[in-house]
Amino acid sequence: MTSGEIRPGSGPAFSPTSATGQGLLSPQPLLLSVPAGQASVALPLPGVGDGPTSSFLGAGLVGRRIRAEDELTFAVLPEAGDATEDPERRWAATAVTVDLLLDDGTRLSAHGVTDQYGAALDPEAQARARRTWVDQWNLRTVALRPAAGRSIAQVQVRAAAHPEAHIRCWIDAIAIGPGAPVPRSLVDAVDIRRGTHSSGEFSRGNNAPLVCVPHGGLFGLPMTDASAGNWPYSYQAHSAVDPSPRHGEPRVRPQLQGFGTSHLPSPWMGDRGVFILAPALSSSPTSAPADEARRRRALWFDHAEESPHAHQYQVRLEGEDDAGRRRRIEAALTATHHGIGLALDYEVPGSLCLDHRGRMENLSWQLEDGVLLLEGTLHDREDTPAQHVALRVEGVTAAQLSTEDVAAGLCGHLTVGAGHVEAVVGMSSVSPALARAHRDGLPDVATMGARARQSWSAVLDRMQVAEPALLGDVPAQRDRLTTLASSLYRVWAYPQRSGEPVDGGGLVHRAVAGEALRIPITPDGAPEVAAGELTVTNGFWDTYRTEWPLLALLDPVRTGELADGLLAHARHGGWVPRWSAPGPCDMMTGTSSDIVLADLLARQVPGVNWEEAYRTAARHAFTAPPDDRVGRKGLRPAIFRGHVDTATDEGLSWTLDNAINDAGAALLARHLLEAGADLPGHDLAAETEHLERRGLAYQDVFHPEHRFFIGRRPDGAWRVDQDFDPDVWGHDYTETNAWGTRVTAPHDPLGLAELFGSEAALGEALDEILDRPELAREETSGSYGFVIHEQREARDCRQGMLALSNQPAHHMPFMLMAAGRHDDAHRVLGDALDRLFVGSDLGQGHPGDEDNGEMSAWWLFVSLGLYPLVPASGEYVLTPPRWRSISLQIPGASAPLRVTTDGPLPGAGPRFIQEVLLDAEPWDRISVPHARLRDGAHLHISLSDRPQGWASDTRPGGLSDRLRAAGRPDTPLRDALTAAQDPAHAPLVDDVGQTAVELAPGESVVLEALRTEDGTTARRTPLYTLSSARAETSASWQLHGITAAGGELLLDERTDERFDQPRSTRPFLTRAPVPPGVPDWAAVRLTAGTALALEQVELFLD
């Protein structure tokens, strides 16, 4: 047998997500060390006498009689192996488990037990399950019912030696006791800490535990680091050893520094409007500088004593009073749309510190009859509106507060007696009066919490899981329900609604692109306060993929209201932000609100002004933005060349995202065209065709030899050709590499397959993605210059270059369906659901950033058996559901949407679709329309544990399918104009569009047309564009075609045409009839009827 040893140690020296130099709970966790070899080891826990001495390391377990309700829990942190020669060695130390030797000589693992994810307890099974993440803590829970009545003779750590690698693994938190019951409702199953066991180095969600109401305007936030505007709560990274807890031995515990108001969109964006209520057990808390004061007054707590739900967060806090004795405070935090409430029960007299991030101005307060009222204005993040704060605290005996403007420090503290203290905060971005109204309208904290619970019940109870016992034993049931409920919570938490109620009814909101910005974007004279809702705190590059489609399914009416609030950005400021936090930020590629709105149209979401939606999308598509924070970067010259070149950072990614958004804008335009809409300043027929063909622009950046998307330089050459390495990150690619964008055309699966040459070739490309390992090495970090967290997470997904840890990959497994390989897609998806969303009981739960509900929505869709692969298609592709029976009551629907399965249990191994019935009728297509489900339906899927080839002759439809079915052009746009007869007019055909050519009334410009390979001139086309340097309200011109013989024919005449914005492009369809037999055009003549300032003229082939 291979030798090995286990002994207490100082804790891991490295972890990207947890505190080092300590254990998960124990100051000195156990270290297992096993040299390379061929055998396995089974080592008893070290200790004295009959066993270990630490309660976190198994003390008192030997001799214990197992009860039916008992569960074994333990945590392991395997150290990553040296993967230089063999990438799989990284996970060599994952073949580790804790086992029990029983009094009958058998091991617990021999009794058929499994952990909460269904993996057997032997070390080889744990390694094969591939759910153990290296350099991170992994918690395992095992139901002991099969061993009930037996006694424990020994607690063992078992490991399978690696033949070539020395393995090291830390073990901690070994315990046996009754497990928590299965939550009785989804409201009680929500754990808002899910995703908080993360950092900027490695994300398992990168969330904060936000207390709120669905789509509320304000979050409440417990804070383990009140100074941090990005990671204010960390499940374990902020923990330390508490040397003298009130009960029990010294242990690793987190500390709470306060409870804050929050609008946190993402740690990468940073929080705003953070006003902090910090309970303390000292009657005179320190007046040290803010960061130090926050650390000194912090109070210890245990995760086991948190009740972390969406409607209310409760915790028992512990610290030293003025006499140095350990005392407690019970805390409960809840929230409303524009307020938070905090109830505190002090064991002894103490204090409540008033704190904040940033600068407080206009402070005023009064204390009367034990009630403190305070008001002030908070400025804590540039380029965001100031927040007006109104506070009420009941139970105050004295106050030491400043009335001066306070920069980066404490407002002061309140002295409180033993017993109950309540604080409520109203917050407004509009006015102090509204903040005061929000505060004064708040009831007591218990009532606030009850109302918040009701609001969550109203949305979560629409989802019903039948027979939860079929999910497995109690630990498995808890995990599945927590994942379901917590995912729904994230989807309902974002986006936020910032409209504030006013007397007399209605809502108002603060403009976020005007005076709130150092450099305003809104036009002069735009109101700073406007009526109606404003939807904020959303990154559309992430959320268009799943979050918005799921909201449209869950509650179409509310989603329409959110969409209207989204359009309010354009209504008052001209543009919808790419990232709203709450105003526009120069973040991410693509104006993805365009595809969000198009998808909502395809799903028939009510309450959206589709003309307004299209005007917004058209501005993004046709107008060069005045500021990098809005619109499309590089639109000039990209709109003329068909791609965004490398002069724009991540130009290739902009090209791919623009194609998706242009396809969406085309759907909005076609809807209005077919509805007979008349939009001044728009030729809907021309714009529809123009946008549809721009949706095919991804084809322009596909390298036919390398078979990857690669950026083009300003001269049209490839950014890299012979030295191309698809493993390298950055440059062309946003948060990924060439592998991660290899199939980024989810809106056009057919066109993508043809681009590769065949469906089989597309399938081969996807196989290469799955087979090529991501190594996360600095030499492939590319333009980032260092290994970014997305690269590490991609590696640790262990699915080759398929990085489901980040949004760009979320459609990729489904693209196997475009190759007819539905079973292969289902296998990959099943593997992802089995492995990547573990750790909900340890603040993990995700494989990467959970951005505004998108990652959660991805899991929810796939687990339901539906996925919105093709944006704005109004369809879902089908996948094997993870439930035996689950239903959704859609508001307004005549019946629930029920998804049921038969055959092998879902989630107990690879599952494939054998047969589908939709409302008892056979369904044999891979896609199902949203329209068939939105009024209620019964989708029944028969599962198999072997591939069945179901529906393999059907494909998800997309842009090319629609164009061909309608007989419309299905090729990218190609400008036929090549030169100007007069050199002074050459800028009009330079494909740059940066130089204005002034034309006086009556002045003409002659532009030559392209000749084809056989020497003929380009055939006539009815589509052309003019790009105007300035806004025009009444522009006029004529367009004539000129034959090679010099003859001219009127093609189009326009009067009183509008260009609503400067530097905008407008497509037009020619109106004049062209008689048969007219020769091909050699040139066109454009004659100004009014003064024009043009930057480009284009003529397109049929």
Q: What is the DSSP code string of 477-512?
A: HHHHHHHHHHHHHHHHH-SEE--EE-TTS-EEEE-S
Q: Could you tell me if 217 and 290 lie in one domain?
A: yes
How far, in Å, CA of 443 to CA of 449, rounded?
10
Rg of the Cα atoms in the chain: 31
| Whole-number pLDDT of residue 85 | 87
Q: Confirm whether 387 is domain-assigned.
A: yes
Main-chain phi, psi angles of 306, to 5 degrees: -95, 145
| Whole-number pLDDT of residue 470 | 66
Q: Confirm whether 230 is domain-assigned.
A: yes
How far, in Å, CA of 943 to CA of 903, rounded?
5
Domain count, the chain: 3
Give residue for tokens 């009785």: 184
∠ at Cα 558 (554, 561), nearest 5°?
145
Tokens of 546: 């799943």
| Whole-number pLDDT of residue 464 | 94
| Whole-number pLDDT of residue 1045 | 86
- Cβ count within 10 A of residue 955: 21
Least confident of 238-242, 404-408, 706-710: 404-408
Q: Could you tell me if 52 and 95 lie in one domain?
A: yes
Instruction: List b or e across 1062-1093, with b for residues whose CB sees 16 or more CB atoms inside 10 angstroms.
Output: bbbbbbbbbeeeeeeeebebbbbbbbbbbebb
| Whole-number pLDDT of residue 49 | 45
Q: Could you tell me if 168 and 221 lie in one domain?
A: no
Q: Could you tell me if 130 and 275 lie in one domain?
A: no
| Whole-number pLDDT of residue 1077 | 66
**Residue of 30, 263, 250 whose CA lies nearest to 159:** 30
Q: Where are the alpha helices (DSSP H) in 757-807?
A: 759-771, 789-797
Q: The whole model's pTM is what?
A: 0.97
Contact 871, 746 (CB under 8 A): yes
CATH number at residue 132: 2.60.120
Contact 997, 1037 (CB under 8 A): no
How far, in Å, CA of 740 to CA of 863, rounded?
23
598 pLDDT above the threshold of 90:
yes
Average pLDDT over every residue of 742-767? 98
What totals of helices (H) and strands (E) does the chain contain, helices first? 20, 54
Q: Confirm whether 110 is domain-assigned.
A: yes
Last residue of a domain, one of 162, 178, 194: 178
Average pLDDT over every residue of 252-268? 97
CATH number at residue 1083: 2.60.120.260
| Whole-number pLDDT of residue 216 | 98
**Residue of 913, 916, 932 whose CA lies nearest to 924:** 916
Give the C-alpha distances (Å, rounded to integers) separating 382 from 65, 512, 740: 61, 12, 34
864 pLDDT above the threshold of 90:
yes
Q: Could you tell me if 219 and 164 lie in one domain?
A: no
| Average pLDDT for the chain | 95
Q: Confirm whether 939 is domain-assigned.
A: no
1083 pLDDT above the threshold of 60:
yes
* Domain of residue 105, residue span: 5-178
Contact 942, 865 (CB under 8 A): no
pLDDT digits (tens, 9 = 90+) for 321-333: 999 999 999 999 9
| Whole-number pLDDT of residue 2 | 57
User: Half-sphere exposure of residue 550, counting CA atoms within 13 Å on the CB side?
Assistant: 31
How far, in Å, CA of 963 to CA of 951, rounded?
23
Sign of CA dihedral 568, 572, 576, 578: negative
Q: Could you tell me if 161 and 217 lie in one domain?
A: no
Last residue of a domain, one of 178, 198, 226: 178
| Whole-number pLDDT of residue 111 | 97
Average pLDDT over every residue of 438-443? 97
Q: Could you tell me if 170 and 252 lie in one domain?
A: no
Q: Where are the alpha helices (DSSP H) in 61-135?
A: 123-129
Q: Model confidence at 586, in pLDDT bands (50, 70, 90)?
A: very high
How far, in Å, CA of 609 to CA of 917, rounded?
36
How far, in Å, CA of 112 to CA of 119, rounded?
10
Tokens of 308: 């972390």
Q: Confirm whether 648 is domain-assigned.
A: no
Q: Could you tell me if 144 and 265 lie in one domain?
A: no
Q: Could you tell me if 24 and 78 lie in one domain?
A: yes
Give the C-alpha distances (Å, rounded to integers) separating 1054 from 683, 999, 1001, 1072: 11, 15, 13, 11
pLDDT digits (tens, 9 = 90+) for 921-978: 999 999 999 999 999 999 999 999 999 999 999 999 999 999 999 998 899 999 999 9
Least confident of 51-55, 254-258, 774-778, 1032-1036: 51-55
Main-chain phi, psi angles of 728, to 5 degrees: -75, 135
Last residue of a domain, one of 430, 461, 492: 461
pLDDT digits (tens, 9 = 90+) for 2-36: 589 999 999 999 999 999 999 999 999 999 999 99
The distance of Cα 257 from the centroid of its chain, to the nearest Å, equals 27
| Whole-number pLDDT of residue 969 | 87
Least confident of 74-78, 152-156, 283-287, 864-868: 283-287
Q: Confirm whether 379 is domain-assigned.
A: yes
- Which residue did the predictor score with more confidence, 1044 or 633? 633
CATH number at residue 318: 2.70.98.10
Q: Could you tell me if 282 and 158 lie in one domain?
A: no
Contact 737, 726 (CB under 8 A): yes
How far, in Å, CA of 609 to CA of 393, rounded?
44
Strand order in the sheet with 1092-1099: 997-999, 1092-1099, 1023-1028, 1064-1069
Q: Could you tell me if 339 and 428 lie in one domain?
A: yes
906 pLDDT above the threshold of 90:
no
E strand intervals along 145-239: 152-160, 167-178, 219-223
Of these ranges, 49-63, 394-408, 557-571, the one predicted with the greatest mean pLDDT is 557-571
Tokens of 756: 């590769």
- Percentage of residues of the chain with pLDDT beyond 90: 90
Contact 548, 535 (CB under 8 A): no
List of residues 6+ apart from 249 with CB closer than 8 A: 54, 55
Average pLDDT over every residue of 1051-1075? 93
Main-chain phi, psi angles of 1028, to 5 degrees: -100, 135
| Whole-number pLDDT of residue 709 | 98
Q: Confirm whether 112 is domain-assigned.
A: yes
Q: Model confidence at 849, in pLDDT bands (50, 70, 90)?
A: very high
Q: Model confidence at 1, in pLDDT bands (50, 70, 90)?
A: very low
How far, in Å, CA of 259 to CA of 531, rounded?
31
Q: Confirm whether 380 is domain-assigned.
A: yes
List of residues 6+ apart from 102 with CB closer than 8 A: 108, 147, 150, 151, 152, 153
Q: Could you tell me if 341 and 291 lie in one domain?
A: yes
| Whole-number pLDDT of residue 1078 | 64
**Residue of 305, 345, 343 whose CA lies nearest to 329:** 345
